[in-house]
């Protein structure tokens, strides 16, 4: 089960609404009971414009976290002792599910790049959040499986 603070989800939902109709993306860091939402820039549109053959999808149906944003997040994670708790992204005008592309992006050589992190997908239609789903790596299944989200209030 993934436990998240209500404020954390509110921040993610706000990010999804602001970026709509494009996908938003980001990372949740945690130090005990405190969670830190770190937004990432979705550079999918830039990559698509530069090289549409390699990047056939635009930001309405895909995301690519800006590498320099990820470097900053990793540095914060290490220097402030805030492990990565979860990655998140939105699916504008689509359901919340962990797509084959999501799986491919989260693995290398069939193994999870962040085995202890969850992946949250937000379904948003016309700037209204419909559902949220979380997925985590299962060694038993050898795949990402859906997991419940428990929202903690203060």
Q: Looking at the chain, how many residues does it have?
A: 154
Domain residue limits, the chain = 2-152
Residue 153: CB atoms within 10 A of its CB come to 6
Instruction: With beta carbons less than 8 A apart as the criterion, state whether 114 and 106 touch.
Output: yes
DSSP three-state, residue 35: strand
**Predicted pLDDT at 144:** 94
Instruction: With beta carbons less than 8 A apart as the criterion, state whether 59 and 65 touch.
Output: no
What CATH homologous superfamily does 2-152 map to?
Answer: Cytidine Deaminase, domain 2 (3.40.140.10)
- Asked if the model's pLDDT at residue 67 lies above 70, the reply is yes
User: What is the radius of gyration, based on Cα positions, of the chain?
Assistant: 15
**Predicted pLDDT at 152:** 87
How much is the pTM?
Answer: 0.94
**pLDDT tens-digit map of 9-64:** 999 999 999 999 999 999 999 998 899 999 999 999 999 999 999 999 999 999 99
Mean pLDDT, rounded, for 107-129 = 94
């Amino acid at each position: 089960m993934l436990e998240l603070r209500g404020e954390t989800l509110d921040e993610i939902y706000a990010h999804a609404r602001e970026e709509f109709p494009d996908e938003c993306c980001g990372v949740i860091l945690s130090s005990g009971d405190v969670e830190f939402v770190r937004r990432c820039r979705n550079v999918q549109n830039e990559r698509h414009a530069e090289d549409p053959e390699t990047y056939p999808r635009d930001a309405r149906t895909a995301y690519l976290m800006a590498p320099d944003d990820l470097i900053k997040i990793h540095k914060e994670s290490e220097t402030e002792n805030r492990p990565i708790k979860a990655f998140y992204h939105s699916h504008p005008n689509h359901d919340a599910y962990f797509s084959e592309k999501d799986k491919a992006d989260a693995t290398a050589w069939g193994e999870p790049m962040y085995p202890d992190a969850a992946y949250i997908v937000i379904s948003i239609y016309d700037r209204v959040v419909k559902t949220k789903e979380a997925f985590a790596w299962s060694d038993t299944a050898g795949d990402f499986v859906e997991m419940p989200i428990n929202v903690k209030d203060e």
